[in-house]
Structure 1
Amino acid sequence: MDSLVSTQWLADQLGSPGLRILDATWFLPDAGRDARAEFEDGHIPGAMFFDIDLMSDKTSTLPTMLPPAVQFAAQLGALGMNDGDRIVLYDNAAHHTAARAWWMLRSIGVDAALLDGGLAKWTAEGRQVERGTQPVEPGQVTPRFNPALVRSLDQVRANLISHAEQLVDARSPARFTGQEPETRPGLASGHIPGSANVPYSSFFNPDGTWKHTASLRLVLEDEGVEIERPVIATCGSGISAAVVVFALHLLGHPAALYDGSWTEWGADPTTPKATGAA
């Protein structure tokens, strides 16, 4: 199974043994939308709801942090997932949150694919949706945590000296430069020094599908990112940074994600901050 699958491919595969579909729609707390309620109101047949808030580290003061691998694997099992399943993720969110779920799965050694265009493309094509939630038999997922995909504050701080990895910030230019103030209390404006700014929206066509690989490469290279060199992706709270990671995956280059992102870095008085353009 390719890492990016079409709506036609998924329609042809519905009902196939070992195929699992997860709706990973997530909204910002102030969006005024309820992702689970929208799932219940209509989703791709056979899909289960992947709750990014529920599947987070509840011991952390930061939002949506990657949960412990054993906890996460058990939660996937409760959704009917098993080792060896073919998993397809999609969303119906402006931040393309299925990429976050994809990165989370990869962090414990589980391969998955994204549905190109998500639920919006599926419904625009007049394809079937179903309501409610169907019961599933619990499954079993074996966690194999991959630390190479995750970066901590201390690792990012050390990278400011070593410059071993490039920093790519997926937030909007206004937030990156500090022109737009942060809404979280006590959070500074600006970005991690030395970061390139490549907004997550740059990777998509107007209909929400992913740009072709040649265009993805140009999006990154136009902002000075060297594709062949290691990358740490960052954003506001580790959600849209996963878009950068997936784009690089499509280009054949693995990348890491700074999970705490600006929510952690910007709130720490000891970390250096920069404002203005990259």
Structure 2
Amino acid sequence: MNAIISAPGLANALTGVNPPVLLDVRWQLTVAKAAGEPPFDGRAAYEAGHLPGAVFVELDRELASAPGERGRHPLPDLAVFGAAMRRAGVSSGRPVVVYDGGQGWAAARAWWLLRWAGHPDVRVLDGGLPAWEGPLEKSVPTPVEGDFVPEPGAAGLLDADAAAALARSGVLLDARAGERYRGEVEPIDPVAGHIPGAVSAPTTENVGPDGRFLSAEELRARFKGLGVTGDSRVGVYCGSGVSAAHEVLALAVAGIPAELYVGSWSEWSSDPGRPVAVGPDPE
């Protein structure tokens, strides 16, 4: 099954006998803002207009636990995550389509979590809300309670030690911007640089100017150039396990399985005993 769905494909699926549950996961990375500039409010954006029948899911509270030693977006409490999915109408026998404001990172995080937790049929709307040409609505639906119960383990998950080992034995991709990988800037986390052995692979290069994914063939060529071969074991990390989920999604589009280091750089850099590499080279 393709991990993404086009807007026309979604419109068609919504008229089928088993239409997908729609999850709206609009979110933006919190960074220092100009004086007086309010933080992004995903719920307010949802209430201003969303796909018909879509339910809002809050990334920071329902798709992650509170920030701490395990990173800025550690895995959510399974009870909280399961309850949020059931509230949204998610059931194991019904497909799910997730979308966000167009960047794709938050939608990919929800996609990865549902896959990791055992849901068999989850896709991301390619291009997000901007790609949708149909009507929007402002009313907040009350879906029938779903029956989904998380059973983790269906998708690959890395911890810090496993990520470090994979950087030596396979291919560990760093999905952050190149300047953060090289250690030239670090606007969020306490230390600049990257995990030794990791390869710079900004997730922004997996999409075209319209925010939609490159073709599977183009993505395979890109990842081959980064050292990903047919027999490579592949892992991905970023700042806090959100944009890295988008790169895992891009790899899935290319037909390449990959594991996610959820704690990512925010967890790695919180321990002064872990090594840090800087500059353009992996080591």
Q: Does TM, normalized by the shorter one, top 0.5?
A: yes
Q: Distance in 1 between matches of 2:137 and 2:236?
A: 35
User: What TM-score results when the alignment is normalised by the length of structure 2?
Assistant: 0.89
The structural deviation recorded for 1:227 is 4.8
Aligned to 2:277: 274
The structural deviation recorded for 1:100 is 1.1
Alignment of 1:221-260 (within 5 A): 221-260=224-263
Letter in 2 for 1:87: V
Q: 49-58 vs 195-204, which deviates more?
A: 49-58
Percent identity among equivalent residues? Answer: 36
Aligned to 2:240, what secondary structure does the other structure show?
Answer: coil
Alignment of 1:74-223 (within 5 A): 74-94=83-103, 96-110=105-119, 111-122=121-132, 125=133, 127-146=134-153, 149-159=156-166, 163-184=168-189, 187-223=190-226
Classify 1:132/1:64 alpha carbon distance in 2 versus 1 (closer, same or farther; 3 Å): farther
Unaligned ranges ≥5, structure 1:
none
The structural deviation recorded for 1:148 is 5.1
Classify 1:2/1:217 alpha carbon distance in 2 versus 1 (closer, same or farther; 3 Å): closer
Q: 136-145 vs 220-229, which deviates more?
A: 220-229
User: What TM-score results when the alignment is normalised by the length of structure 1?
Assistant: 0.90
The structural deviation recorded for 1:116 is 1.3
Alignment of 1:20-99 (within 5 A): 20-30=21-31, 32-55=39-62, 56-58=64-66, 60-61=68-69, 62-94=71-103, 96-99=105-108
Unaligned ranges ≥5, structure 2:
34-38
Structural RMSD (CA): 1.9
The structural deviation recorded for 1:231 is 0.9
The structural deviation recorded for 1:250 is 1.7
Letter in 2 for 1:25: R
Q: 108-117 vs 247-256, which deviates more?
A: 247-256
Q: Distance in 2 between matches of 1:197 and 1:181?
A: 15
Aligned to 2:36: none
Aligned to 2:169, what secondary structure does the other structure show?
Answer: coil
Q: Distance in 1 between matches of 2:3 and 2:28?
A: 24
Moved over 6 A (4+): none
The structural deviation recorded for 1:178 is 0.6
- Give a deviation string over 1:135-175, Cα, whole Å, max 9, x none: 12211112221175111113223445xx3331100000100
